């Protein structure tokens, strides 16, 4: 019943990129995007949706999708400013009076100033976990690294081209205004004017009725690093013109594993930065079995972190499919058979081994990988990729961890 299972320890090697290619087909760089049409008249706004879909609307209002962009409120019960503007930190080179809009709140908060008809990110961000100011001066994103594209000065890098497509709903590149700030109903369901008029299900996009490829693309439009294909919108850092239900490949060429460490991905394809959930998930067995992002996450809100449908901290969400007697069970009698740790200990938390923190959002390492495989300590030795073993056993070496796991036995 048992066998040595070094085969489970081989990292996913990126050079193949084969799962990615098979999943989404031809590289998007070879395709021509569709010119964006003025979308404003097609949208109705989330309040209109809430009149009929009250429960979903109020649930969504509790999520961080509604707090990506916020007004500046420095004090009071509804305070939105997280950064300490009384700090003497040399990285803080601007005052709160210069801030016209806040961006983010969970991992970090950035600050935007309006100049003319556009917003620009000021050159420092507040890291929430460490309560500190750090410089914000992107250098390694493709749009910052590519010579001649965007100057290094913060006031020459407009939000309309670099941020707003994912931070708002129905952004119009002509007027540089969105239909609605933040990630609202129509960012995922598409423009709703026709549906509001007819109330017919066929007149609105329901992600649950889409194929898993098209359904996941709705999330991937913002949760998958890449760049636009060559053409009219090639200098934008978001998928201009995409609407839910469309083929994202027409608007976005996603970053793929290359066999070398790159800005968003480790050499073996695991998450090295935030916002690569799609890049890593698309390599997983779960994706290829038809699992969707919203199989595990409910964008209408839950009481759990990252609005998962069940708790990840208690293993409830994972054991719904992989628990005892389930079709995809990973153990027969006790979870420790699979984890080789006490069933109630942190070493038996599914996400710590199969979704370890390998990427940087604000600090190392605070973003979880979404390939759902076991990242071997061998990946750390070869490429520097963090692994779940040493994320917990910080006083041990990757070599120690590799020896431990290669001595384990697993159920066939």
Residue 8: pLDDT over 50: no
Query: How high is the pLDDT of residue 80?
Result: 98
Q: What 3-state DSSP class applies to 120?
A: strand
Angstrom CA distances, 6 to 14, 56, 228, 377, stand at: 19, 46, 40, 12
Which residues, at least 6 apart from 295, have a Cβ–Cβ distance to it below 8 Å?
309
Asked if residues 195 and 202 have their Cβ atoms less than 8 Å apart, the reply is: no
pLDDT in tens, 10-69: 343 333 333 334 344 333 333 343 444 555 789 999 999 999 999 999 999 999 999 999
Q: What's the rounded Cα separation, in Å, for the pair 111 and 98?
A: 9
Residue 128: pLDDT over 70: yes
Q: Per-residue pLDDT averaged across 195-223, rounded?
A: 97
Query: How high is the pLDDT of residue 186?
Result: 98
What order do you get walking across the sheet with 132-135 strand by strand?
69-70, 101-103, 108-115, 118-127, 132-135
Residue 213: pLDDT over 80: yes
Mean pLDDT in the chain? 90
Query: How high is the pLDDT of residue 37?
Result: 53
* Nearest residue to 5 (alpha-carbon basis) of 237, 340, 382, 329: 340
The mean-pLDDT minimum among 130-144, 220-234, 397-411 falls in 397-411
Element spanning 19, H or E: helix 18-24
Angstrom CA distances, 25 to 17, 166, 249, 253, 282, stand at: 11, 24, 8, 11, 12
Q: What's the rounded Cα separation, in Å, for the pair 382 and 84?
A: 40
Strands 2-4 and 69-70 turn out to be unpaired
Query: How high is the pLDDT of residue 327?
Result: 85
Most confident listed range (5-14, 25-34, 356-365)? 356-365
User: pLDDT class for 1, splitting at 50, 70, 90?
Assistant: very low
Report DSSP state, residue 360: B
Q: What 3-state DSSP class applies to 346?
A: helix
User: pLDDT class for 168, splitting at 50, 70, 90?
Assistant: very high
Asked if residues 133 and 119 have their Cβ atoms less than 8 Å apart, the reply is: no
Burial class (CB in 10 A: 0-12, 13-18, 19+), 325: exposed
Query: How high is the pLDDT of residue 408?
Result: 87
Q: Per-residue pLDDT averaged across 299-327, rounded?
A: 94
- No. of H helices and E strands in the chain? 18, 13
Query: How high is the pLDDT of residue 9?
Result: 40
Query: How high is the pLDDT of residue 163?
Result: 97
Query: How high is the pLDDT of residue 111?
Result: 98
Which residues, at least 6 apart from 387, have a Cβ–Cβ distance to it below 8 Å?
356, 358, 375, 376, 377, 379, 380, 398, 401
Query: How high is the pLDDT of residue 27?
Result: 37
Query: How high is the pLDDT of residue 280?
Result: 98
Q: What is the pTM of this model?
A: 0.89
Query: How high is the pLDDT of residue 325?
Result: 86
Query: How high is the pLDDT of residue 219?
Result: 98
Burial class (CB in 10 A: 0-12, 13-18, 19+), 178: buried
Cα 263 to the center of its chain, rounded Å: 15
Residue 409: pLDDT over 80: no
Query: How high is the pLDDT of residue 3?
Result: 37
Query: How high is the pLDDT of residue 326?
Result: 87
């Amino acid at each position: 019943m048992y066998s040595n299972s070094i085969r489970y320890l081989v990292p996913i090697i990126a050079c193949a990129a084969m799962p990615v290619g098979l999943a989404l087909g031809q590289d998007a760089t070879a395709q021509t995007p569709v010119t964006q049409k003025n979308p404003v008249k097609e949208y109705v706004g989330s309040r209109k949706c809430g009149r009929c879909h009250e429960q979903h609307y109020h649930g969504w209002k509790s999520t961080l999708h509604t707090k990506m962009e916020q007004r500046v409120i420095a004090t009071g019960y509804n305070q939105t400013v997280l950064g300490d503007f009384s700090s003497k930190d040399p990285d803080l080179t601007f005052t709160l009076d210069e801030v016209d809009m806040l961006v983010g709140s969970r991992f970090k908060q950035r600050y935007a100033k309006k100049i003319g008809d556009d917003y620009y990110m000021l050159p420092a961000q507040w890291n929430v976990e460490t309560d500190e100011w750090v410089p914000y001066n992107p250098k390694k994103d493709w749009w910052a690294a590519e010579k001649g594209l965007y100057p290094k000065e913060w006031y020459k890098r407009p939000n309309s081209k670099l941020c707003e497509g994912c931070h708002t709903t129905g952004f119009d590149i002509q007027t540089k205004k969105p239909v609605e700030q933040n990630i609202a109903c129509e960012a995922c369901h598409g423009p709703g004017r026709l549906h509001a008029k007819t109330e017919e299900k066929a007149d609105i996009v329901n992600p649950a009725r889409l194929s898993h490829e098209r359904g996941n693309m709705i999330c991937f439009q913002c949760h998958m690093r890449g760049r636009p294909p060559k053409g009219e919108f090639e200098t934008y850092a978001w998928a201009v013109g995409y609407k839910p239900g469309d083929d994202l490949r027409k608007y976005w060429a996603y970053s793929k594993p290359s066999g070398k460490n790159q800005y968003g991905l480790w050499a073996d394809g695991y998450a090295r930065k935030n916002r690569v959930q799609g890049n890593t998930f698309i390599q997983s067995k779960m994706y290829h079995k038809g699992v969707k992002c919203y199989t595990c996450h409910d964008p209408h809100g839950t009481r759990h972190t990252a609005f998962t449908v069940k708790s990840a901290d208690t293993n409830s969400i994972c054991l719904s499919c992989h628990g005892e007697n389930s079709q995809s069970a990973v153990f027969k009698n006790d979870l420790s058979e699979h984890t080789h740790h006490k069933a109630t200990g942190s070493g038996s938390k599914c996400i710590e081994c199969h979704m370890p923190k390998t990427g940087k959002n604000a600090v190392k390492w605070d973003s979880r990988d979404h390939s759902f495989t076991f990242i071997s300590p061998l990946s750390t030795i070869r490429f520097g990729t963090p692994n779940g073993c040493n994320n917990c056993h910080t006083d041990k070496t990757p070599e120690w961890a590799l020896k431990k796991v290669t001595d384990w036995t697993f159920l066939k």
